Amino acid sequence: MKIRGKFYGVGVGPGEPGLLPLVAWETLKRCDLIFVPRAQSLDYSAARRALPQGEIPEDRFREVEFLMDSDRDVLRTHYAQLAQTLADELNAGKNVAYLTLGDSLTYSTYIYTVHALRALVPDLRHRTFPGITSYCALAAETDWPLGEGKERVLLLPCPDEMSELQAAIELHDVVVLMKIGRRLPDVLRLLDKLGIAPFCAYGHRVGMPEAVIQPDVSQLSDAGQNGYLATLLIRRRARVERHSPVQPDSTQTGGALL
């Protein structure tokens, strides 16, 4: 009896090639098949571009077009079909991986994929590798602390109503805003109105060749900026330094400057 293969979910990070865990990369190189999602609006897979190029044979990759559809019945059908394709390969004894941008379990298509697959294969052998999120990459790029001391931090998909976003900002020290899309101009206007834009950072396609990084949102014009694959780090008030500046000690000069 053939042993069923193992399924791996791999978060490849925000886009910079190679910015993924070493253990995940070593596992990918041993997989028989690697499924890579591609948005309908793109002619390439952003997740695949995040891998070091030329080190895995081309014939191991399978591209999957994923849907940006709000109809839940359409999405259920899509993920059920994908799960069946994955189950067939696993039942044939192949080890199969599925790539996702950022982290595997943070607003990713992998979440729906693995749940649909487990419904078909209750005894599924699998491992999920974590990945670096866009907001962690943006914070590192701009030296922007995501939480200090007992600061309250909220991870929030952007609401449609700016009054809801304002309420969230007022209740938390830091808001990590994701899934912004077409709401970006309204969000930028709100931050400006609240007077906190200088304390906020913006990143679009962080880690990719076409990335836009702005550590001070007050310097960012809403004209021409894109909210797709964008992240905002929002701070409710200016950051308080937690160290005391070192004061020169005139007694230690030894008269050298006299």
- 246 located within any domain: no
Q: In the predicted model, is pLDDT for residue 41 greater than 70? A: no
- 172 located within any domain: yes
DSSP string, 22-61: HHHHHHHHH-SEEEEEEETT-SS-HHHHTSPTTSS-GGGE
- 104 located within any domain: yes
What's the mean pLDDT in 245-254? 57
Range of lowest pLDDT (116-125, 142-151, 170-179, 243-252): 243-252
- 102 located within any domain: yes
Domain total in the chain: 2
pTM above 0.75, yes or no: yes
If asked whether residues 124 and 141 sit together in one domain, one would say no
CATH number for the domain spanning 97: value is 3.40.1010.10
Question: Contact at 8 Å (CB) between 116 and 82?
Answer: yes
pLDDT grade, residue 238 (50/70/90)?
confident
- 251 located within any domain: no
Q: In the predicted model, is pLDDT for residue 16 greater than 80? A: yes
Q: In the predicted model, is pLDDT for residue 81 greater than 50? A: yes
Query: Would you state the pLDDT for residue 183?
Result: 94
pLDDT grade, residue 252 (50/70/90)?
low
If asked whether residues 26 and 50 sit together in one domain, one would say yes
Domain boundary among 129, 149, 168: 129
Query: Would you state the pLDDT for residue 257?
Result: 34
If asked whether residues 138 and 83 sit together in one domain, one would say no
Chain-centroid distance, C-alpha 31? 24
* Residue 28 belongs to domain spanning: 7-129
**What is the rounded CA–CA span in Å between residue 9 and residue 5?**
13
Q: In the predicted model, is pLDDT for residue 227 greater than 70? A: yes
Domain boundary among 129, 160, 180: 129
If asked whether residues 93 and 150 sit together in one domain, one would say no
